[in-house]
Amino acid sequence: MADLTAEVVICGAGIAGIAAAYHLAVTHGMTDVVLVERGAPLSMTSDKSTECYRNWWPGPDDAMVGLMNRSIDLLEQIARRTDNLIGMNRRGYLFATADPTRVPALHRSSKEAERLGAGPLRVHDGRSGGPTYVPGRADGFEGQPDGADLITDPELIREHFPYLSPRTVAVLHPRRCGWFSAQQLGMSMLEEARRRGVRLTRGEVTAIDTASGRVRSVTVATDGGARTISTPRFVNAAGPLLKAVGEILGVELPVVCERHLKLSFNDHLEVVPRGAPLLIWSDDVVLRWSETEREALAASDENRWLLGRLPPGVHCRPEGHGDSRTLLVLWTYDMQPVDPVFPLPITDHFAELVLRGMAVMIPGLAHYLDRIPRPYVDGGYYTKTRENRPLIGPLPIEGGYVVGALSGYGVMAACAAGELLAAHIMGAPLPRYAPAFTLSRYADPSYQKLLENWGDSGQL
Ligand SMILES: Cc1cc2nc3c(=O)[nH]c(=O)nc-3n(C[C@H](O)[C@H](O)[C@H](O)COP(=O)(O)OP(=O)(O)OC[C@H]3O[C@@H](n4cnc5c(N)ncnc54)[C@H](O)[C@@H]3O)c2cc1C
């Protein structure tokens, strides 16, 4: 027998579930929202992120740029309203390459991003009369350039980024990008939502009654026993457990999980300046080894791959204020789908490997290879669809919804994703990008065709 009722039950108090609850309660004034969370809010994936944001996304259409521009608008509104409680900066992302043959591709992708709405491209190639490069500011987000700067002028690269490999031939600096505190964002949205009546319940969603094809009630296992909440709507915001919770609802969700690890350590030599942007190496990586190491790796079936070409995308950024010298370093050289297990398994030698990778872009980091100062490794799962676009909207069971598959961009997308999901639930007008994120997109044969030739998925 049902002992509770709700207008909506949301499963998962990660950043996605919290943002959905916030928009239902605060934007639309819904009074009876229950947020069910098996652990502590934000503690599964949302507090493991690098907390970065960007409006720099590939096509084929402008849906991702549209979603992110909207989310960044909302983040900026929150930052303005709260005297920047969320510590938002706009230092940009800096993609660097040592491969001259990649420069035309960088130019092409920048023109594409410009066409999709990410802002204008400025090229700095050393010729006189070109635009002036405006460096990013360490703090704050107002009054900064939009779009991107593509720099191929070697002097300009050395002047602004002297710590990059001297082999660097081009850097691309998209500007509506940076980072902020996802924890502050999540907690402030949760607090506001609770003030507006959202109830947070500790427990695990274990069953959903969907008699005659519509949501009727949700069963939650709590310390005090099973509780049934009578409700016409259920939102799956279960992060890496999206697929499992989809199965409870009887809806197959086309998502996989990838494990992503992150190293933080004390860059006490300040190899990376504290005001640096997010630094990303765009080329494949070949790690440097001593002759003895090389021989040992070559002789090992398990480790020989470390001598080959490894994927691009190793990246880092400074973390913290004041005396902090913390540097975060990430690199997903292994993108095999895995079953999410907790606690997250940590790969042996990850810290050394990721630092070796990062030292290809920033050679000064090799100083730390003998002994990494105060290393700490954590991470979580990216939950992804095949084309790396999220799932936001209704499910084929009446009253069933999903907000998830937020991959490596969930904290930056959360505000717009929660807003979009709430608009679906409330029957409010939907933005132009809404159809690009519904589950029903896969039922469209022309979308299936598009998927066969989907290019860059924009993963970092
Ligand atoms: C290493 C790393 C770096 C990242 N960097 C960035 C970045 O720079 N920028 C960015 O925007 N994003 C980044 N991300 C991605 C971002 O962290 C995620 O996309 C986002 O946190 C996902 O939020 P979520 O709410 O969907 O999932 P989660 O935060 O995992 O929340 C899901 C919640 O559902 C709960 N739950 C699951 N099943 C049940 C159940 N049956 N009953 C009750 N509760 C349940 C879980 O306990 C969990 O709290 C990164 C991720 C990782 C791992």
From first to last of its 460 residues, what are the pLDDT tens digits of the chain? 446 999 999 999 999 999 999 999 999 999 999 999 999 999 999 999 999 999 999 999 999 999 999 999 999 999 999 999 999 999 999 999 999 999 999 999 999 999 999 999 999 999 988 899 999 999 999 999 999 999 999 999 999 999 999 999 999 999 999 999 999 999 999 999 999 999 999 999 999 999 989 999 999 999 999 999 999 999 999 999 999 999 999 999 999 999 999 999 999 999 999 999 999 999 999 999 999 999 999 999 999 999 999 999 999 999 999 999 999 999 988 889 999 999 999 988 999 999 999 999 999 999 999 999 999 999 999 999 999 999 999 999 999 999 999 999 999 999 999 999 999 999 999 999 999 999 999 999 999 999 999 988 888 8
pTM of the model: 0.97
> Does any ligand 1 atom lie closer than 6 A to the CB of residue 178?
no
CATH class belonging to 4-51+182-255+385-452: alpha beta
Nearest CA to ligand 1 atom 25: 14
- Taken in order 368, 371, 375, 380, the sign of the CA dihedral is positive
Query: Rounded to whole angstroms, how far apart are CA atoms 256 and 234?
Result: 22
Mutation test residue for ligand 1: of 34, 258, 383, 406, the one with most atoms within 8 Å of CB: 406
Strands (DSSP E) found in 8-75: 8-11, 33-37, 52-54
Q: Parallel, antiparallel, or unpaired: how do β-strands 148-151 and 121-124 relate?
A: parallel
CATH 3.30.9.10-classified regions of the chain: 93-178+257-381
Check residue 2 and give its pLDDT.
46
Check residue 92 and give its pLDDT.
98
Fold of the 93-178+257-381 domain: D-Amino Acid Oxidase; Chain A, domain 2 (3.30.9)
Q: How many A from CA of 395 to the centre of ligand 1?
A: 20
Residue 169 CB neighbours (<10 A): 17
* β-sheet bridge partners, residue 149: 122, 173
The one-letter amino acid code at 276 reads A
The one-letter amino acid code at 18 reads I
The one-letter amino acid code at 2 reads A
Do the beta carbons of residue 16 and residue 404 sit within 8 Å? Answer: yes
CATH 3.50.50.60-classified regions of the chain: 4-51+182-255+385-452
Check residue 3 and give its pLDDT.
62
* β-sheet bridge partners, residue 208: 218
Give whole-number Cα distances, 373 to 163, 274, 361, in Å. 19, 17, 19
Q: Which long-range contacts (CB under 8 A, 24 or more apart) does 135-139 make?
A: 135/160, 136/90, 136/91, 136/92, 136/173, 136/175, 136/178, 136/275, 136/277, 137/89, 137/90, 137/91, 137/275, 138/89, 138/91, 138/274, 138/275, 139/89
Query: Rounded to whole angstroms, how far apart are CA atoms 310 and 312?
Result: 7
Check residue 280 and give its pLDDT.
98
Label residue 163 exposed, middle or buried (CB < 10 Å: 0-12, 13-18, 19+).
middle
> Does any ligand 1 atom lie closer than 6 A to the CB of residue 243?
no
Mutation test residue for ligand 1: of 202, 331, 411, 460, the one with most atoms within 8 Å of CB: 411
Q: Parallel, antiparallel, or unpaired: how do β-strands 225-230 and 234-236 relate?
A: unpaired
Give the residue from 19, 176, 181 showing the smallest Cα distance to 86. 181
Query: Rounded to whole angstroms, how far apart are CA atoms 367 and 147?
Result: 35
Tokens of residue 281, six digits: 């190496």
Q: How many A from CA of 100 to the centre of ligand 1?
A: 37
Tokens of residue 312, six digits: 């691009």
